């Protein structure tokens, strides 16, 4: 998995006031029981689901949605949603800005993320990812065939996977070119993988007042703990806008590259439009 280093618009963990640290403590006290309690409940219920339903998860995804919605409220980050998650079989793809994407996307749709293998070993985040059915992959040619079969198996079980085809997180101000290799599983010849759809989802973050435009972005060598604390210390947050674009039918595309290019354009156009409207709004009021 590549790491993106292309933006200088960042801010270090400095200048947090006493009130800001107090807010960090308060929000941590609110997040801890919600996240850890949800994790424990998911593990317990999953223990009952697995013997009866196998790979299918009829109950635990609802716990994930509830936990993520409560978490965003505790953090204080408003989320505005346009469009609706599709009900057709298939997957979702989105641009990737931050660890916050996980909470935002999970709060609006019952999905199973596809993540780099290293995440499974991360404290807390790795535990949460495994408990919620995340698919862990290694971006290497040696593992490509095995991973394609894994995707097919999950799709056959009715799971809607969530991909980040950029392959890395960014500052949230752009959409990087999509990698097409992850779409290979959607062009399988078996009957179970026919008539699949992919819905492009655009995620646009808007910084708090008087903060850098890339405030919510998490990229390069940024440490998770530093970014997490900085986010919790803000009294008045900006917002995030989530747009579910029109789904694309896989059978309408001749190759994975054509499909990846179209999905990339859908997400880029929606995000650029949202960011342009936000920049134009203050100018219109002057």
The CA–CA distances, whole Å, from 261 to 28, 164, 255, 267 equal 40, 14, 10, 10
Lowest mean pLDDT among 126-130, 156-160, 279-283: 279-283
* φ, ψ at 253 (rounded to 5°): -120, 145
Q: Is 243 helix (H, G, I), strand (E, B) or coil?
A: strand
* Spatial separation of the C-alpha atoms in residues 271 and 120, rounded to whole Å: 29
Proportion of the chain above pLDDT 70, given as a percent = 89
Tell me, what's the pLDDT at 286?
47
Considering only residues 225 and 120, tell me which one the structure prediction assigns the higher pLDDT. 225
Phi, psi of 146 (to 5 degrees): -65, -40
Region of residue 222 (phi > 0: left; psi between -120 and 50: alpha; otherwise: beta): beta
Distance CA 161, CA 182 (A): 11
Which band of pLDDT confidence, cut at 50, 70 and 90, is reported for residue 28? very high
Query: In this predicted structure, what is the pLDDT of residue 285?
Result: 47
- Residue 121, judged by CB atoms within 10 A of its CB (0-12, 13-18, 19+), counts as exposed
Q: Which range among 9-18, 36-45, 146-155, 184-193 has the greatest average pLDDT?
A: 36-45
Structure tokens given for 212: 């850098």
Place of tokens 């999970």: 106
Is the pLDDT at 260 greater than 70, yes or no? yes
Count the Cβ atoms, other than its own, within 10 Å of residue 135.
18
Six token digits for residue 14: 């400095």
Q: Is the pLDDT reported for residue 278 higher than 50?
A: yes
pLDDT surpasses 60 at 228: yes
The predicted-structure confidence for 52-74, as pLDDT tens digits, reads as follows: 988 888 899 999 999 999 999 99
Q: pLDDT at residue 250 above 80? A: yes
- What angle do the packed helices 18-53 and 60-75 form, to 10 degrees? 170
Distance of CA 77 to the CA centre of its chain: 15
Query: What would the two tokens of residue 42 be?
Result: 């998911």
The tokens 């998911």 sit on which residue?
42
Per-residue pLDDT at 7: 66
Both tokens assigned to 56: 């299918």
Q: What is the pLDDT of residue 138?
A: 74
Q: At what angle do helices 224-232 and 18-53 cross, to 10 degrees?
A: 110
**At 168, phi and psi to the nearest 5?**
-165, 165
Q: What are φ and ψ of residue 164, in 5° steps?
A: -115, 90
Give the C-alpha separation, 206 to 192, whole Å. 40
Note the pLDDT tens digit of each residue in 149-198.
Answer: 777 788 877 788 999 999 899 999 999 999 998 888 888 666 555 688 99
**221 DSSP 8-state letter:** T
């Amino acid at each position: 998995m590549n790491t993106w280093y292309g933006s200088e618009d960042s801010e270090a963990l400095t200048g947090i006031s006493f009130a800001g640290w107090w807010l960090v403590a308060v929000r941590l006290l609110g997040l801890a029981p919600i996240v850890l309690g949800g994790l424990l409940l998911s593990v317990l219920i999953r223990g009952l689901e697995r013997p009866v339903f196998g790979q299918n998860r009829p109950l635990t995804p609802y716990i994930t949605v509830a936990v993520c919605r409560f978490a965003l409220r505790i953090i204080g980050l408003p989320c505005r949603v346009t469009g609706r998650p599709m009900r057709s079989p298939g997957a979702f793809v989105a641009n990737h800005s931050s660890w916050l994407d996980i909470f935002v996307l999970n709060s609006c749709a019952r999905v199973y993320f596809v993540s780099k293998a290293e995440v499974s070993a991360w404290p807390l985040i790795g535990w949460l990812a495994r408990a919620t059915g995340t698919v862990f992959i290694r971006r290497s040619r040696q593992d490509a065939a095995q991973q394609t079969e894994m995707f097919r198996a999950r799709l056959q079980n009715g799971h809607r996977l969530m991909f980040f085809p950029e392959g890395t997180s960014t500052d949230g101000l752009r959409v990087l070119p999509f990698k097409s290799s992850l779409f290979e599983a959607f062009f399988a010849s078996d009957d179970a993988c026919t008539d699949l759809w992919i819905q492009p989802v655009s995620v646009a973050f808007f910084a708090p007042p008087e903060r850098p435009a890339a405030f919510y972005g998490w990229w390069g060598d940024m440490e998770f703990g530093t970014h997490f604390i900085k986010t919790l210390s803000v009294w008045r947050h900006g917002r995030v806008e989530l747009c579910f674009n029109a789904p694309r039918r896989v059978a309408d595309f001749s190759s994975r590259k054509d499909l990846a290019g179209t999905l990339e354009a859908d997400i880029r156009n929606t995000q650029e439009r949202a960011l342009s409207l936000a920049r134009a709004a203050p100018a219109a009021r002057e």
